[in-house]
Each structure stands twice: as structure tokens, then as C-alpha cells.
Amino acid sequence: MAYSTLLLRSILTFCLFSISFVQAYDRRACQAPTRNPLSGCPVGTLLVGLGQKFTSVQSAVLSLGNTTNPATILILPGNYTEQVNVTRQGPLTLLGQTSSPNDASYNVVNIIWHNATGTATTGTYDNAYTSVLTVAPTFNASTTGSGPTGNPVPPGTPFGNLDFRTYNLNFINDYLPYSAGPSLAVSVSYANTGFYYTQFLSYQDTVYIGKLGSAYMYSCIVGGQTDFVYGFGTLWVTESEIQLRGCGGGITAWKGTNTTFENKYGAYIYKSHVAKANSTLNITHECALGRPWNAQHRSIFALSYLDDSIQPNGYIEWSSSDPRVNFNTTMAEFHDFGPGFNLTAREAASNVTIEMTPKEYAPYSTPALVFQYPFSGAFGNVAWIDEYPRA
């Protein structure tokens, strides 16, 4: 990138931070491994690490209390075996220490949990119990439930975090190294969440964006096998890697909701790279882009590279006995490319896979067009997004 562009970007970044909730700071300096780990961080940043006052992320989060004050937590390299639950409304940023703040593949902070549900060996409890990270105001707001509308969130449940962010962290649910029931790495409901240079790894139901959940992922790595991007809310994934660790169900499985206002709840995979996790996987033409968790599923893979793991037909039905496909099902693509994109085969599967025209895609083409304010449904809920995340 030209120096002048970089300069312009830093000026823009500075302006943006100055007017947003979150205190302006130099992210690279704060995250750099230095003698005083907190140098360059916002005043009041909490430090988590071995031998520090806080040795778990959750203890630092709980110490903040349920206030609306913005807060930042810096986490030293290591493996933290814990679940992290964030219920507070106040803006919160979690940073992993790193000397490569613009590359998720070098992250050295792992937050690890091992749990799954829904099989004979695990027993059956809500998917919410399994997640490594949960951002939701209450436990009930975070539950998945079952049936076309899922678990009802009790009326009057307040909105949770207004501006939650992570940079350079890995959230790993390593229950078993293959699909063995839902095992969430992240669960977001009734909250606005931005994930930057962050990894989410498990095999099944890895990323859950639940009711009134809004999530933006930039330069992230999402790894999974079965229905591993699922939910009710709105997810925008941009310039990220979707890593296929096997095939099962589909990549996406969304449940649409009837609302009194127009909604665009769904999963939007934009300018990303969808490919097998490594070359030893033998999954040529086996993975589906998605399948409808209910008939109002909405997902769009746009302008993305698809490797040869993707099925020629693109999307699939839920199952042959219960297809869940009707005229309200939006299983779509726009200008995808790569060996996993076969236009002839996609056209033959037009009853499941929609190739959008520019006009059809236009209403879904930016985050501001799809992210909605909770409760009112007004579009343009994007002030919590870090538009210039590079450090």
C-alpha cells in the first residue's frame, strides 16, 4: 500500500476512534510484547496472565461490573482453559498480546473449552452451555432451543453489550477432533460484537449468532465441519478464511424470524476465502455452502473464493425427508469464483441455490444495509464496527 494511502488511513482511523465510544489508542503499541505490557494501552486497561492479578479472562471481565464504562483487557500469551461470559452493556475490548496484530494465524492467546451436547455420550442440554465465549445479557437470551423459532427470549430482556470487540485471540472448543454434537466457540445474542484477527475453531456449530445478535468479523479464521456458521441474528464476515475441517450439513444453517418490520437477519460471507483446512483432507466436492435450519434461512456468499471442496450444486436441502426449502428461502451467491464454483451445476440446482443478479444483491451489499438496531429494526446499526482495524 502506498505511503500516502497509509497516512490517509491513519488519519481516518484517528478521526473514527475520536468520535466512537472506545478510547483512542495505538493498538500495535498496546499489544506489543514489551517490558511493561500495558504501555500504549488505554488508561485503566486490565492485564490477564500467569502470575498477574487476573489469571483468567472471566475474572477480569467480572471485576468490571455491570456498568456502561468502556473497558479494555489485555491478555498475555498462553492457554486459558475457561468459558468467558460477557453480560455487561458497557463497551469492552479484549486484546491478545502479539507482535503480529494484523495476522490471526500468528495469534498466541488461546481460550479453550471442551464441551458438546446432543449425543448419547454427552447428554442433551442447550447448545448455550457448550460455548467458549458468550456475549449475551442473560443465560436465557443465549439459548438456542429447538423448533422453527427456537427458545423464546423472555419479554423485557434488556439488550446486552453495545460494543464488544476482540483482536488476536483464538477461541477453541476442542471437545473432539471431529463433529460430535454442537460445540460452540462463540455465542452472541442481544449484543453488538466485532471480531478482528480472531480465530474460532471447533467442528460443529462453531459460530452461533443468536437472537438480536449482530456480529462483524474481519480478517478472522473460522474453522469447522458441520453447520458451523449458524443462528438467528446477523453476521457479516469479510476478508476472512472459512476453513473446512471436513464436511457435514452445510457451512451455514440459518433460522429466519418473522418480525413486524422487514429484517435482513442472515449470514453474509463477503470477499472471503473458503477452503479445506489442509491438503491432507480428502473432501473434493463434498461440502455444501449451507442448508436451511428453517425455511427462512438467509445466507449469501459474495465475491468469495471457493476451493474444490465445495459441492458443484452449492447449497443443499435440510434433508430429503424435510427439505425446508420454499420461496422464502434465500440460499444465495453473488460473483463467487474458484474451483468450487461451477455455474452450469449451480444453474441445474436453481431450486436450492440462487445466483443473485447485481440488482438482487444490492440490498445486502454493505454492513449498514443489513445490520439493524435491536427492537426497532431500523437499519444502519454499525457504529460499533471498527472500520479501520489494521494496526
Ligand X SMILES: *[C@@H]1O[C@H](CO)[C@@H](O)[C@H](O)[C@H]1NC(C)=O
Cβ 109 to ligand X shortest distance, Å: 10
Q: Do β-strands 186-188 and 229-231 pair in parallel, antiparallel, or remain unpaired?
A: unpaired
**Are the C-beta atoms of 336 and 362 separated by less than 8 Å?**
no
What whole-number distance in Å separates Cα of residue 216 and Cα of residue 386?
A: 9
What are the CA-CA distances from residue 154 to residues 137, 144, 151, 157 (Å)? 12, 13, 9, 6
Cβ 22 to ligand X shortest distance, Å: 19
Compare residues 219 and 294 and give the one whose CB is closer to ligand X. Answer: 294
Contacts of 322 (CB under 8 A, 6+ apart): none
Q: Is the dihedral of CA 34, 39, 40, 41 positive or negative?
A: positive
Compare residues 185 and 215 and give the one whose CB is closer to ligand X. Answer: 185
Compare residues 151 and 238 and give the one whose CB is closer to ligand X. Answer: 151
Start-end of H helices in the chain: 3-19, 27-31, 57-64, 139-142, 343-348, 358-361, 367-370
Cβ 328 to ligand X shortest distance, Å: 4
What whole-number distance in Å separates Cα of residue 71 and Cα of residue 90?
A: 7
Compare residues 45 and 127 and give the one whose CB is closer to ligand X. Answer: 127
DSSP structure string for 286-314: TB-SB--SSTT-EEEEES-EE-TTB-TT-
Cβ 36 to ligand X shortest distance, Å: 24
Compare residues 41 and 133 and give the one whose CB is closer to ligand X. Answer: 133
Cβ 145 to ligand X shortest distance, Å: 8
**Are the C-beta atoms of 73 and 189 separated by less than 8 Å?**
no
Cβ 319 to ligand X shortest distance, Å: 11
**Are the C-beta atoms of 346 and 314 separated by less than 8 Å?**
yes
Burial-class residue 379 by CB neighbours within 10 Å (0-12, 13-18, 19+).
middle
Cβ 369 to ligand X shortest distance, Å: 17
What whole-number distance in Å separates Cα of residue 16 and Cα of residue 385?
A: 10
Compare residues 52 and 149 and give the one whose CB is closer to ligand X. Answer: 149
Closest CA to 200 of 189, 210, 188: 188
**Are the C-beta atoms of 214 and 231 separated by less than 8 Å?**
no
Amino acid at residue number 377 = G
Cβ 345 to ligand X shortest distance, Å: 4
- Residues near ligand X, by CB under 6 A: 58, 66, 79, 83, 85, 87, 89, 110, 112, 115-116, 122, 125, 128-129, 134, 139-140, 148-149, 151, 154, 158, 172, 174, 177, 245-246, 257-258, 277-278, 280-282, 294, 296, 312, 317, 323, 325, 327-328, 342, 344-345, 348, 351-352
Cβ 140 to ligand X shortest distance, Å: 4
Compare residues 144 and 342 and give the one whose CB is closer to ligand X. Answer: 342
Compare residues 128 and 391 and give the one whose CB is closer to ligand X. Answer: 128
Compare residues 133 and 382 and give the one whose CB is closer to ligand X. Answer: 133
